[in-house]
Amino acid sequence: MPKFVYDFTEGNKDLKDLLGGKGANLAEMTNLGLPVPPGFTITTEACRHYLEHGNPPGGLAEEVDRHLAALEAQMGKRLGQSDDPLLVSVRSGAKFSMPGMMETVLNVGLNDESVHGLAEQSGDERFAWDSYRRLIQMFGKTVLGIDGDLFEDAVEAAKDARGTKDDADLRAEDYRGLVERFKAIVREQAGRDFPSDPREQMDLAVRAVFDSWNADRAILYRRQERIPVDLGTAVNICSMVFGNLGADSGTGVAFTRDPASGQQGVYGDYLQNAQGEDVVAGIRNTVPLTELERIDKDSYDRLLEIMETLENHYRDMCDIEFTIERGKLWMLQTRVGKRTAAAAFRIACQLLDQDLIDVDEAARRVTGDQLAQLMFPRFAAGDQGSDAVKKLVRGMNASPGAAVGKAVFTTERAVELAGRGEDVILVRRETNPDDLAGMVAAKGVLTSRGGKTSHAAVVARGMGKTCVCGAEDLDVDVKGGRFTAPGGITVKEGDVISIDGSSGDVYLGEVPVEDSPVVRYFEGGLAADGGDELVAAVDRIMRHADGRAALDVRANADNPEDAARARRFGAAGIGLCRTEHMFLGDRRRLVEELILAEDAGQRQTALDALEPLQKQDFEGIFEAMDGLPVTIRLIDPPLHEFLPDITELSVKVGLAGDGADPQDRRLLDAVTRLHEQNPMLGLRGVRLGLVIPGLFSMQVRAIAEAAAARRRAGGDPRPEIMIPLVGAVQELEAVRDEARGILDEVKDATGVDVPALIGTMIELPRAALTARQIAEAAEFFSFGTNDLTQTTWGFSRDDVEAAFFSRYLELGIFGVSPFETLDRDGVGRLVRIAAEEGRKARPGIKLGICGEHGGDPDSVHFCHEVGLDYVSCSPFRIPVARLEAGRAAI
């Protein structure tokens, strides 16, 4: 039978799957000899069993009995013992941290008898009754599902009765009264009494933690963070220590480095005479951790020592939760800390300099997604001073970036307005887990209370969302839909505000945004050694990634400007130049002429008009990518895309009656003729080339002539001609032979020989499955995974995202859209088959990918595993793909 319960002395940090992050790290700290209150962890396996079968696995109760007995023996008191009770906390702890998403019950073991024992032992009756009412409150809310406001309202009423606004003024008898009131609330709301049996309290709390895995907000958070749905949570049962036993007690959170910048130092918040959740919830304002030195120097020194031990042991920035009980420091949690993208790069390089990690590890410690975040725009320096904007206040810079939007004060409004396509900033006094949907919908989050470790800050950083928190000078009136800033400025719902998550500044009005320094560095406008620590760190890690990468990174670009930018970003060529993009704008008319041509002569005239324009485009691109391969894809989309909309044109011609413009009539005939029920599966790609004589030839000629012209001008053009939507080798052969003929003709006419590879896209399942035959006629393959995903799943790429993907994501049919991250099992299998078969027919055949997946981190890793030669992605994603190509090889 599996073991379902582990004492803290039995686990270690590598058992996160089984013990969850919190449990595994509590065990690790215990084994490091750090002061962790004794306890044990119920495994995720037990949770999974419970969620599947609706009851805990057989044997769990007995195992818990044994561990509890051992804990009681160690502590020298029994759970809930009436004269000196052992009290425990019951906390969730999944493999991946889900801040505030799931449940915690503290002070388990208190009842009408043991509360007296606690009063006696602590010598503090007020504390004992406060602890008891907290238990009933948390238990009522978490385990019995009672609306938390009912308890809060009762506390408010007690304060009113005492004539105060501060919890600190409540006395023992007030709390005693609240216990009675809370018990009555439980009876009224839950139809049962609050259980006085300590073991029953514990067992019910454990079940509630299991159940919280499937709470709505936890499900939403997991979807956001792409955490698998079936992991379950562990439950940690830990002997209680108290931070609310007076001025010599307290509780706090700390980072071993600044999670926003990576700077070394003492970062954290401390709250004197308070219990656990008070800090994270941002309910009361904390003092900076440095104050602890003044309050309790011994504990402060010990804490710094432990922080150093942890950093050296984990070889990474850690965050910790601690409690001081009457001058004794206890560690309640640690984990490798969440950090901003900038801090991730800085910290990786700092640890590298400290010889704590090597450079491979430094590259592993950052991600392409983090790099992408650093490339987001920020507020333009100086523009904050313009008349159009007014600085309201400076809060804490909790999560970087620049966000502009209409102020909204509730999650519901945030979701509603964002759903209409509006940018919003969610403004709250503090956030709690129920605000998650609003935080997802908003461009940024602003709170007036709570520190850098408050819920808003932690969750926003995790999402990469801009956040300013703890702007205490703002008076937020959620009910009134407004906030007031110093100087009496009132901002109402709908007013545009700008928040700067890097400085903490908040402005009324719209502040213009500018490129990030990281982008300027990639653009070549900012030197790596120019003094910007972040840029230097990015440079260092990028260089290493480039050195490691087996994959080249090319760009999807179809004009000289994008090509040049891509090259500055480090592109090793162009992997996809979509030529149809060159037929838009003014040139659409020329394409119309081609489609309307009634005979070969008219068609040729139209093609002749297009050719020089194409040639000019290609010359510019070859020049920008001189010496690097440029894969030019012949025209792909259905021709009707270049014609007016059939409904609008029918109405126009119909309304004009006999007076209709003859050109419109011809157009309508053509649109009607070309109209397809399923254009994505219709006359497009190679099929167009085979049906419209001269179209592909014109493009190939333009490519060959452009290359010849570049060569004559001293350049080094490297064209590759790519045929789209091939399903059978015969299609490819026909087009290839025609193209070869044109290339030879141009060579003869110009006297310049520019070799050009001719290859194909693999974007249909049949092409993948017959890749061996196709490779006989193709000098390279480029996987068009947009169409390959569309045709493999049978999902219309233009419609599904809106139609039903959100439901599919909800149901867990996939964790992320297959158009975003390559579906390894299905589409990926076809890619593997085609790569293997292609190599069999043509060893060394060049293989790339040019669908959107080429810039997606997970898909880049897949391409590396399959052994492709390159990925191709939009210019802005190139640094991300370069980094991930390097990380994939480490």
The minimum distance between CB 797 and Mg ion, in angstroms, equals 9
Instruction: Please state, in angstroms and rounded to a whole number, the distance separating the CA atoms of residues 145 and 475.
Output: 31
For position 203 contacting Mg ion by CB under 5 A, the verdict is no
DSSP 8-state symbol, 249:
-
* Binding residue for ligand PEP, selected from 278, 558, 617, 787, defined by CB under 6 A: 787
Among residues 135 and 822, whose Cβ is nearest to ligand PEP? Answer: 822
CB atoms within 10 A of CB 47: 28
Among residues 592 and 636, whose Cβ is nearest to ligand PEP? Answer: 636
The minimum distance between CB 568 and ligand PEP, in angstroms, equals 23
CB-closest chain residue to Mg ion? 787
Residues 737-776 that bind Mg ion (CB under 5 A): 763
For position 785 contacting ligand PEP by CB under 6 A, the verdict is yes
The minimum distance between CB 824 and Mg ion, in angstroms, equals 20
Binding span for ligand PEP by CB under 6 A among 185-193, 528-536, 590-598, 778-786: 778-786
In single-letter form, the type of residue at position 777 comes to A
The minimum distance between CB 856 and ligand PEP, in angstroms, equals 12
User: In the structure encoding, which two tokens stand for residue 156, read together?
Assistant: 């408010």
The minimum distance between CB 634 and Mg ion, in angstroms, equals 12
* Count of positions (residues) in the chain: 890
Contact by Cβ (8 Å): 499, 425: yes
Binding span for ligand PEP by CB under 6 A among 397-405, 509-517, 566-574, 784-792: 784-792
* Binding residue for Mg ion, selected from 100, 433, 462, 784, defined by CB under 5 A: 784
37 binds, options Mg ion, ligand PEP, none, Cβ within 5 to 8 A by partner type: none
Instruction: Please state, in angstroms and rounded to a whole number, the distance separating the CA atoms of residues 676 and 744.
Output: 36
User: In the structure encoding, which two tokens stand for residue 161, read together?
Assistant: 């009765």
* Binding residue for Mg ion, selected from 174, 269, 592, 787, defined by CB under 5 A: 787
The minimum distance between CB 726 and Mg ion, in angstroms, equals 11
- What is the residue whose two structure tokens read 């190679």? 686
The minimum distance between CB 698 and ligand PEP, in angstroms, equals 20
Going by C-beta distance under 8 Å and a sequence separation of 6 or more, which residues neighbour residue 75? 38, 86, 239
For position 856 contacting ligand PEP by CB under 6 A, the verdict is no
For position 684 contacting ligand PEP by CB under 6 A, the verdict is no
* Binding residue for ligand PEP, selected from 117, 395, 784, 875, defined by CB under 6 A: 784
- What is the residue whose two structure tokens read 């007013």? 495
CB atoms within 10 A of CB 188: 10
Instruction: Please state, in angstroms and rounded to a whole number, the distance separating the CA atoms of residues 466 and 502.
Output: 8
The minimum distance between CB 556 and ligand PEP, in angstroms, equals 7
578 binds, options Mg ion, ligand PEP, none, Cβ within 5 to 8 A by partner type: ligand PEP
The minimum distance between CB 885 and ligand PEP, in angstroms, equals 18
For position 576 contacting ligand PEP by CB under 6 A, the verdict is yes
Going by C-beta distance under 8 Å and a sequence separation of 6 or more, which residues neighbour residue 11? 18, 19, 23, 24, 26, 27, 28, 41
Among residues 372 and 761, whose Cβ is nearest to Mg ion? Answer: 761
850 binds, options ligand PEP, Mg ion, none, Cβ within 5 to 8 A by partner type: ligand PEP
For position 855 contacting ligand PEP by CB under 6 A, the verdict is no
The minimum distance between CB 851 and Mg ion, in angstroms, equals 7
Catalytic sites, residue numbers: 455, 850
Among residues 155 and 767, whose Cβ is nearest to ligand PEP? Answer: 767
Q: With contacts defined by CB under 5 A, how many residues of the chain interact with Mg ion?
A: 3
For position 321 contacting Mg ion by CB under 5 A, the verdict is no
Binding span for Mg ion by CB under 5 A among 7-15, 232-240, 625-633, 787-795: 787-795
Among residues 319 and 787, whose Cβ is nearest to Mg ion? Answer: 787
Residues 388-417 that bind Mg ion (CB under 5 A): none
For position 874 contacting ligand PEP by CB under 6 A, the verdict is no
E strands, 454-528, are: 466-469, 475-477, 482-485, 489-492, 496-500, 505-508, 513-514
Core vs surface per residue 647-681: b (16+ CB within 10 A) or e? eebeebbeeeeeeeeeeeeebbebbeebeeeebbe
Contact by Cβ (8 Å): 494, 458: no
C-alpha count within 13 angstroms, C-beta hemisphere, residue 14? 0
Instruction: Please state, in angstroms and rounded to a whole number, the distance separating the CA atoms of residues 501 and 485.
Output: 18
How remote is the C-alpha of 840 from its chain's centroid? Answer: 39
Strand 513-514 with 378-379, pairing: antiparallel
User: In the structure encoding, which two tokens stand for residue 419, read together?
Assistant: 């759903």
For position 359 contacting ligand PEP by CB under 6 A, the verdict is no
The minimum distance between CB 575 and Mg ion, in angstroms, equals 13
CB atoms within 10 A of CB 435: 22
251 binds, options ligand PEP, Mg ion, none, Cβ within 5 to 8 A by partner type: none
Instruction: Please state, in angstroms and rounded to a whole number, the distance separating the CA atoms of residues 129 and 170.
Output: 11
Contacts 24+ apart (CB under 8 A), 75-81: 75/38, 75/239, 79/108, 79/109, 79/198, 79/199, 79/202, 80/109, 80/110, 80/111, 80/114, 80/197, 80/198, 80/199, 80/201, 81/114, 81/117
Alpha helices in 524-583 (DSSP H): 533-548, 560-568
* Binding residue for ligand PEP, selected from 851, 857, 875, 886, defined by CB under 6 A: 851
Among residues 259 and 851, whose Cβ is nearest to ligand PEP? Answer: 851
Among residues 236 and 782, whose Cβ is nearest to ligand PEP? Answer: 782
Among residues 22 and 578, whose Cβ is nearest to ligand PEP? Answer: 578
Task: Give the N- to C-terminal CA distance of the chain in Å, as an integer.
Answer: 38
Among residues 614 and 791, whose Cβ is nearest to Mg ion? Answer: 791
Of 519, 535, 503, which Cα lies nearest the Cα of 342?
Answer: 535
Instruction: Please state, in angstroms and rounded to a whole number, the distance separating the CA atoms of residues 723 and 719.
Output: 13
SS3 764: coil
For position 75 contacting ligand PEP by CB under 6 A, the verdict is no
Q: With contacts defined by CB under 6 A, how many residues of the chain interact with ligand PEP?
A: 10
For position 282 contacting Mg ion by CB under 5 A, the verdict is no
Strand partners, 379: 513
* Binding residue for ligand PEP, selected from 476, 538, 545, 850, defined by CB under 6 A: 850
Among residues 700 and 762, whose Cβ is nearest to ligand PEP? Answer: 762
Among residues 581 and 747, whose Cβ is nearest to ligand PEP? Answer: 581
For position 580 contacting Mg ion by CB under 5 A, the verdict is no
Binding span for ligand PEP by CB under 6 A among 83-91, 140-148, 334-342, 781-789: 781-789
Binding site residues, Mg ion, CB under 5 A:
763, 784, 787
Binding site residues, ligand PEP, CB under 6 A:
576, 578, 636, 763, 784-787, 850-851
